Structure 1
């Protein structure tokens, strides 16, 4: 794995040297004088652009607030956004470009594989890197300079198993997993292990490929087992295809999923909402949270962008404040001191209160969301065991 990423970094470095400036997106003015340049790379076009746009909106709002209050240690934040299209090579190329331009921290990206590539590329530079939403466990593992604002895939899998046992009283479960996705397999593997520990019988586990659109064979096999719950850990584009086919296969189970479900209501035709009625998924925050700080964030976001924030928006917003607090706490402006200060934070944000663990993962509760009559409803909070 390391050899593969080293090769990618080497290629990206060559590409960077030859690239022009035509793939820059939503860039602010380059930092000049007494300013703090923060670079970011997100999928602003392509299949993951909804995630990228939501995250960037949260980042922009946080930066505007911080600059209005005087910046970080008196320095105005200047942002630069590059579009990585959700692609691994583009993400690494963007990382090198942003560092070359003088970025003092990197925010990005959304999905796990490109986030891991950036993390691997950054270790030698020691520059602070935070992914708001990259959930693959290895992104931060053994990397002193790499952090995340979200919880990990295995963490979600554990919490979903606990929820299935404690709240749904599930006796049996089935799993339908995207075998080509680290996100999907990471949640599925942890869920299966935890479910068995808790006494839930995993009666079926079926897999599909990234480009599959017909899931009849897998779903028919699952239907024969008649499970209480069906875990489908994938992103909402794929879920919009799978869930109607699951009901057509006569699966009566309650659907469970990870944070990739956030956005499914925008993707599915409202005429199909009945197939995901009473489904549950883990998420990082809820717009129904009565915390005044959360409600103020939601109000300001709606005023700024004309829509409600997603969990990706909230995670992007929190990421900027993690950097702010870490940079202000640091003993100096060196990368080493900044990384140590971020690591030591006792952070309270829109997506919860947490400290970082030994691998720079936030240890925090998850919100369980229920899909009810075409809306996301807060169901409960689940803590790890």
Structure 2
């Protein structure tokens, strides 16, 4: 009799737990639609890329706070789960595994770097959760070598081929340069992709690559490569890598008496760049995603400064647009279901601070975005170096 009674109580408890939703965090209501919608973010909070990652994660938190203060989305609050990749591809994979399996995020924003964005592709596909990269420009992130799209990889920035072609086109067609040299990071997918398409476009426009020298990220002495480049007497030197090495190599180039124009891409912009090498970079050209002085950009800049007390990096603006696209997709999907959100990402269009964002179904890249060509110059009124907008320019 005792055993029967115990069995009866056990069955009753199971039925009660099922009825009240034991897996819910909302008590007896069991209404999961009232739980916060979790959004993941990955990026470098430590290491050389930390200035970008810190700015990016802070921007997402600021935007989520703003959304929550205005009532959230779909009647629910948002919750950010931000994880540090330490600038490492393996750490990025581990972070995404945790976000999709433990934290149960509906989608992920970031990372900034191409190598990390490439590394997480398999995890995203296995989990059926989408990622929107911010400044990861390698074309293989969204489109495979066979031309098929990576189903769960998206981005709001243009690609390495695009900015490489823009840089070459501007150098040849606008600046009228005939001879170009290249100093690149042999260990960087970003650097090599940028370089490849610069070469193809520059040569197609009648230009000549007179020198091509390599280094590896972490190197601090670029004089041997720059000495060879100096002998080639180029009109312009392409430096398609990140701000730390840009600053070091630019200073050393000027120390060697190299007067050629320096040119780079979206890996350059950082306040640290001017602190390290402002004078050496004066007169250089940068292919960027937007103009910092655009009136539509300034409100975000001011909001970030008001909250964090410092000028934002490029990542602030890029992750702003990625967040807006994700928010629109969640609203379009009408739920926090990861697959529904994935399906909606190519069905929405948003007006961002870097332009109008519409992700292509066959590429998962923003369609029709032009680059902003900027020139580094000294502002005589402030005594500080700045990016002066020259023009919008598209690859052709």
Same fold (TM over 0.5): yes
8 A Cα contact 2:325 2:357, kept in partner: no
- Residue in 2 that maps onto 1:125: 127
- Residue in 2 that maps onto 1:266: 272
Deviation at 1:331, TM superposition (A): 6.1
Distance across 1 between alignment mates of 2:275 and 2:265: 21
Mark the runs of 5 or more structure 2 residues left unpaired by the alignment: 1-31, 144-148, 379-384
Deviation at 1:97, TM superposition (A): 1.0
Distance across 2 between alignment mates of 1:378 and 1:310: 16
- Residue in 1 that maps onto 2:339: 336
- Residue in 2 that maps onto 1:317: 320
Helix, strand or coil at the partner of 1:123: helix
TM-score under structure 2 normalisation?
A: 0.84
- Residue in 2 that maps onto 1:143: 150
Query: Equivalences for 1:1-385 in 2 at 5 Å?
Result: 33-100=34-101, 101-141=103-143, 142-263=149-270, 265-267=271-273, 269=275, 272-291=277-296, 294-330=297-333, 333-357=336-360, 358-363=362-367, 364-373=369-378, 374-385=385-396
Distance across 2 between alignment mates of 1:77 and 1:165: 47
Deviation at 1:372, TM superposition (A): 0.5
Aligned residues: 351
Deviation at 1:366, TM superposition (A): 1.2
Mark the runs of 5 or more structure 1 residues left unpaired by the alignment: 1-30
Helix, strand or coil at the partner of 1:261: coil
Deviation at 1:260, TM superposition (A): 0.8
Which structure has the greater CA radius of gyration? 2
8 A Cα contact 1:61 1:317, kept in partner: no
TM-score under structure 1 normalisation?
A: 0.87
Distance across 1 between alignment mates of 2:205 and 2:356: 27
Distance across 2 between alignment mates of 1:269 and 1:328: 42
Helix, strand or coil at the partner of 1:211: coil
Structure 1 318/155 Cα, relative in aligned 2: closer, same or farther at 3 Å? same
Deviation at 1:33, TM superposition (A): 4.2
Helix, strand or coil at the partner of 2:267: helix
Could you say what the CA RMSD is over the residues aligned between the two structures, in angstroms? 1.8
